[in-house]
Amino acid sequence: MKQSLGFCVLAAILGLAGCAVTKSGYVEKGNRLFEAGKYSEAALNYRKALQKDPQFGEAHYRMGLVALKQDDARTAYQELTRAVDLLPANTDAREKLASLTLSYYLLDSRRPKNLYNQLIQLSGALLANNPKSFQGWLVKAYLSLTDRKPEEAEGFFRKALESKQDPVAETALAQVLLQNGKPQEAERIGLEVIGKSKSYAAAYDLLYKLYSSSQRLNDAEKILETKIANNPKESAYRVQLAGFYADHQKTVDEARTLQELLDRPKDFPQAHIEVGDFYESRRNFAEATRYYEEGIRANTPDKLRCQQRLVALLLNEKKNEEAAQLMDQILKEHPNEPATLRLRASLWIDSGQPAKLDLAIHDLQALLKQSPDDRFLFYKLGQADRRKGDLDGAVAEFLQAIKDRVDVLPPRYELAQIALERGQGKQAVQYAGEVLAVAPNDNTARLLHAMGLIATREYDAARGELTSLAKDNPKSPQVQLQLGLVQLAQKNYSQSTQIFEKLRQDGALNPMATAALASTYSSEKQYDKATQILEEGVRKFPDSTAIRAELALVELQTGKYDSAIKELQQVVAADPKSLKAWLALAEAYDLRGDLNLSISTYQKARDLFPKDPVPAISLASALEKAGRLEDAKAQYEAVLQSDPNNVSALNNFAFLLSGQAGSLDEAMKLAQRAIQVAPEQPGLLDTLGYIYLKRNMVDSALRTFTVLAQKYPTHSTFRYHLGLALLAQGEKAKAVTEFKAALANHPSPQEQAKITELLQSKS
């Protein structure tokens, strides 16, 4: 038994040894599977080869080929890059990498410099190895085109075609010849291409463009007919010909061409959708509806898609009830059909109704379980959260939608708009800038970017952008409104008045223009004029919260606290999701002397917006003012627990603690942390200086306040605190000078009383 067992063990060991596969063996097996079209199995063997030797260049090259077959461009790029590094003599790997990199480069409107440099290197290496390299010259040709050197590109395309005839390169050369004013040669090459490559659509399109632009309409029609004759089962080409007929008012030929699609259902099973889409693209919604409905009644294989197209059309025409009924019908026949659920969720979100928003969120979350990487679903969830007033939730969803994707733009608009609502100008500039990096001429992003600059008080830069935008969009009232706001911010009152008055008279953005015009007059202390304009605006636009909020602000400035509170109460009732309105109402109560009502309003705002730190911080300040220091501390601690780097909470809490002898060390730590987070904010340094003063570190306090007063000579608080430091050092005369300077710069009523008392005691 022992001998038999030993023999079995030995046989097993020998068997295992005989079954061992080398890295080259795995690649050879993978190659056989690759040739058989079994790409996943081939990739598995290439990976096993790489497990044995991660530096095995041949396996990386083969993995790149598999990725190309599977349309996985990112993996192909990574693997071919590695293969070229490890196998510098592998020309095919370099050519394929050059082709892939060129595609990436041409598709990216930003023209990334790193890809440009890589292409220069790849083409140089290819041409150094083979001066007649087709791919090497082709790369140089396309780079010359993006460098706006069409004559140079023409030469490089000719060089490439000397070694290889290729319909893509030949058509590209013909396109360059058109740019270089050589239409006859371009036409000749285009005709040669379609003679050899009858299915290459780009060559037909080039010729069609040439004929149309030169008004050779018979030739344009014939080239489309040739395109159809050479590709008789391509329905899109017949639709293109119908478009030509429509453009030239040949309605009979247009109808005949489209009918040919409908008459051959075996060849063109999607005819109803294609004809409907044709009319929809030309905004002939009645005809589009007719063909979608015909497709539904005929119970074609594309009935569902016809129904979905019809839903989208109904939504576009604002026929929401009809769209909802059709979606319900679709979902009865196809429960949980993803595309329809998306459309229904979008409809519910647009309704803004709380119950429907919840239903939309439920459906979108269910869809996300099926498609966890679907950016559109995150985007729609963000919109739903925003409509519900959950801005933090909306931001989280929008960030998920744009994660690792520079080309996803709609969520970035939303993020910029939310940032502006929250007064976060830098973030608005960032998100709008990300859109502009991809789409430099995007007018929405340009406007949002300028509005972000206004929010960060970069008025000159904002005015420059808006002036350029106004040239491109001279009839845009939004652009004019923002230009007016820049003029107002820079105290150019005559210019802002002119802009806002014109907008108001034209009726464009009337409520907003009315509020802005009144703001201009109140900035000039013309409160009666501002009030007159706003009261007239309220009569004309009684539902405008913008006008009522501005009227309340003017009334607060003129001491009409009761009237201001009534206006703000109406604003809050009309727009209970407006945090600004709640905060303004609380402040109005405070100014009237109703501190308890102010506190309860801040509490209401905090409860309505639990994720926003602003109402909690405002509540803490009000509690501090009321002498409820422990309650104020609790509010600041709650904010810092969820947001440890909240600058306002750190600073305000530090200032509160600076009034308590036993808490000065903690106050110092909080103030220093705030400065680390936002070193550019001078108010934080002022708080630290005040704590120095409380700790009898007079020299440190004096240095701090001196720097602030020199940098901001018109800031009353800094001059007041410098006076306190000078007084503590025994510099009475200099302190009095600073106190007087502080009074001359319009301090708050509380500071004014303290300064006046100090001056009287030192006189």
Question: In this structure, are residues 417 and 448 in contact, taking their beta carbons and an 8 Å threshold?
Answer: yes
Mean pLDDT, rounded, for 236-256: 95
* Residues in the chain, total: 763
Give per-residue pLDDT as tens, 161-176.
Answer: 999 999 999 999 999 9
Return d(Cα 509, Cα 374) in angstroms, integer: 36
Please give the pLDDT value at position 337. Answer: 87
* CA neighbor of 304 nearest in space, from 278, 349, 272: 272
pLDDT category at 673 given cuts 50, 70, 90 is very high
Mean pLDDT, rounded, for 213-225: 96
Rg (CA), the chain: 36
Give per-residue pLDDT as tens, 337-362.
Answer: 898 898 899 889 988 888 999 999 99
Is the pLDDT assigned to residue 263 strictly greater than 80? yes
Give per-residue pLDDT as tens, 67-90.
Answer: 999 999 999 999 999 999 999 999
Return d(Cα 509, Cα 219) in angstroms, integer: 50
Q: b/e per residue, 529-561, with b = 16+ CB within 10 A?
A: bbbebbeebbeebeebbbbbbbbbbbbbebebb
Only one residue has tokens 């069609």, namely 208
Question: In this structure, are residues 680 and 711 in contact, taking their beta carbons and an 8 Å threshold?
Answer: no
Return d(Cα 527, Cα 83) in angstroms, integer: 74
Please give the pLDDT value at position 9. Answer: 38
Please give the pLDDT value at position 763. Answer: 64
Q: What angle do CA 439, 445, 446 make, to 5 degrees?
A: 95
Tell me the CA distances in angstroms from 318 to 322, 376, 629, one per residue in order: 9, 22, 55
Mean pLDDT, rounded, for 633-659: 93
Please give the pLDDT value at position 417. Answer: 96
Please give the pLDDT value at position 3. Answer: 42
Mean pLDDT, rounded, for 491-517: 90
Q: Which two three-digit tokens encode residue 124?
A: 């140089």
pLDDT category at 680 given cuts 50, 70, 90 is confident
What the chain holds in terms of domains, given with CATH numbers, is 576-643 (1.25.40.10)
Is the pLDDT assigned to residue 16 strictly greater than 50? no
247 contact partners, CB below 8 Å, separation of at least 6? none
pTM of the model: 0.70
Percent of the chain at pLDDT exceeding 70:
97
Please give the pLDDT value at position 7. Answer: 38
Give per-residue pLDDT as tens, 575-605.
Answer: 888 889 999 999 999 999 999 999 999 999 9
Give per-residue pLDDT as tens, 126-162.
Answer: 999 999 999 999 999 999 999 999 999 999 999 999 9
Please give the pLDDT value at position 179. Answer: 93
Task: Please give the span between the terminal C-alpha atoms of the chain, in angstroms, as a whole number.
Answer: 117
Please give the pLDDT value at position 423. Answer: 84
Question: In this structure, are residues 74 and 43 in contact, taking their beta carbons and an 8 Å threshold?
Answer: no
Tell me the CA distances in angstroms from 672 to 117, 134, 649, one per residue in order: 45, 63, 13
Only one residue has tokens 């001196």, namely 706
Please give the pLDDT value at position 609. Answer: 87
pLDDT category at 725 given cuts 50, 70, 90 is very high
Is the pLDDT assigned to residue 404 strictly greater than 90? no
Residue 403: φ, ψ to 5°: -55, 125
Is the pLDDT assigned to residue 116 strictly greater than 90? yes
* CA neighbor of 193 nearest in space, from 210, 212, 218, 214: 210
Is the pLDDT assigned to residue 177 strictly greater than 80? yes
Considering only 375-379, 517-521, 609-613, which range has the smallest mean pLDDT? 609-613
Give per-residue pLDDT as tens, 426-466.
Answer: 999 999 999 999 889 999 999 999 999 999 999 999 999 99
Using DSSP's 3-state secondary structure scheme, residue 559 falls into coil
Q: What angle do CA 204, 210, 216 make, to 5 degrees?
A: 105
Please give the pLDDT value at position 746. Answer: 86
Burial group, residue 449, by CB count within 10 angstroms (0-12, 13-18, 19+): buried
Mean pLDDT, rounded, for 382-390: 91
Q: b/e per residue, 315-337, with b = 16+ CB within 10 A?
A: beeeeeeebbebbeebeeeeeeb
pLDDT category at 316 given cuts 50, 70, 90 is confident
- The DSSP secondary-structure symbol of 334 reads S
Identity at 158, one-letter amino acid code: R
Percent of the chain at pLDDT exceeding 90:
81
Mean pLDDT, the chain, rounded, equals 91
Question: What is the per-residue DSSP string for 722-739?
Answer: HHHHHHHTT-HHHHHHHH
Question: In this structure, are residues 380 and 348 in contact, taking their beta carbons and an 8 Å threshold?
Answer: no
576-584: list long-range contacts, CB under 8 Å, 24+ apart.
576/608, 577/389, 577/608, 578/545, 579/605, 579/608, 579/609, 579/612, 579/614, 579/615, 580/549, 581/545, 581/549, 582/608, 582/609, 582/615, 583/614, 583/615, 583/618, 584/549, 584/552, 584/553
Is the pLDDT assigned to residue 6 strictly greater than 60? no
Give per-residue pLDDT as tens, 708-719.
Answer: 999 999 999 999
Question: In this structure, are residues 449 and 463 in contact, taking their beta carbons and an 8 Å threshold?
Answer: no
Is the pLDDT assigned to residue 61 strictly greater than 90? yes
